[in-house]
Amino acid sequence: MNNLVLKQEIEEVTLNSREIAEMLGKRHTDLLRELDGSSDGKTIGIIPTLENANFALSKYFIPSTYKSGTREYKCYEITKMGCHMLGNKLQGEKGILFTAKYVERFNEMEKKLSSGQTQKEIKPNLKEKEIQTRFNNSVARKANALLKIANDPLTTKERKKALLAQATEILTGSKEIKTLQQPIKKTYSATEIGKKLGISSNKVGRLANAHNLKTPEFGMFFKQTLAKNDKEVEDFKYYENVIPVLQSLLNVQVKLNI
């Protein structure tokens, strides 16, 4: 009876899709697109294919979410069978290395389960990363609020100097650093990104939404109050690394005459 219970527990061991994406050497958004398919329906994903054939999805991919800042983002818990399926799509060295990585991780977790540890106890690294990410996001938001005030044209030089020093202290935990050294990534509005690419801000937003680019990898959400009705909304500002991604999407559209 004990062996049966243990076998059932081991079969439920999973790896998070973010960790799997790292093993595969690809962005998490790209892995999700491979699993779910493209939003325009031109590419059918692995999961819709399984569902259409009436396979039990929970044996392969279990829907889940993770938090980053104030937002929740989609992810999956992936079973060993799910990893087998992803590994079978790879050829040559990439397939060999990915298989070796996930097999080692599953063997490691299964050994710990057999010694009485729970899945919660054997997945500390990912949880610690999530906690650290939330903390970093919180620090960045506080520093960014100070920087926004410091960059206001009406802020005096003395006040600006004090705000920059305070932002530095928040980011570094030290009062000894007197200059602000790249505290957070610079962000750009959709309009600014559009100007760099020669497209409208609406086009930037449509591409970002269609290809799930409004994630912590490519920018962050800022809260702002609309002047006309005092309504508080969230506005996404982009990091510079989104530009080559959008450019490649635009190139594809040109080739397809979209």
Over the stretch 107-147, which tens digit does the pLDDT of each residue have? 888 887 777 655 555 555 555 555 565 666 666 777 777 77
Instruction: Name the residue ranges covered by the structural domains of the chain.
Output: 2-122, 190-255
Over the stretch 42-58, which tens digit does the pLDDT of each residue have? 788 999 999 999 999 88
* pLDDT tops 50 at residue 8: no
- Any residues with CB less than 8 A from the CB of 239 and at least 6 apart, and which? 185, 186, 187, 188, 218, 219
Tell which wins on pLDDT, 229 or 223: 223
Tell which wins on pLDDT, 20 or 5: 20
**pLDDT tier for residue 11 given thresholds of 50, 70 and 90:** very low
Q: Judging by DSSP bridges, how do beta strands 219-225 and 71-78 pair with one another?
A: unpaired
Q: Would you state the pLDDT for residue 10?
A: 40
**What is the C-alpha separation between 116 and 9, in angstroms, rounded?**
11
pTM summary value:
0.47
Q: Would you state the pLDDT for residue 144?
A: 75
**What is the C-alpha separation between 258 and 255, in angstroms, rounded?**
8
Over the stretch 199-224, which tens digit does the pLDDT of each residue have? 999 999 999 999 989 888 888 888 77
**pLDDT tier for residue 183 given thresholds of 50, 70 and 90:** very low
Answer for the pair 87, 24: CB distance below 8 angstroms, yes or no.
Answer: no
Amino acid found at 93: E
CB-CB neighbours of 52 under 10 Å: 9
* pLDDT tops 70 at residue 175: no
* pLDDT tops 50 at residue 174: yes
Answer for the pair 19, 127: CB distance below 8 angstroms, yes or no.
Answer: no
Answer for the pair 161, 189: CB distance below 8 angstroms, yes or no.
Answer: no
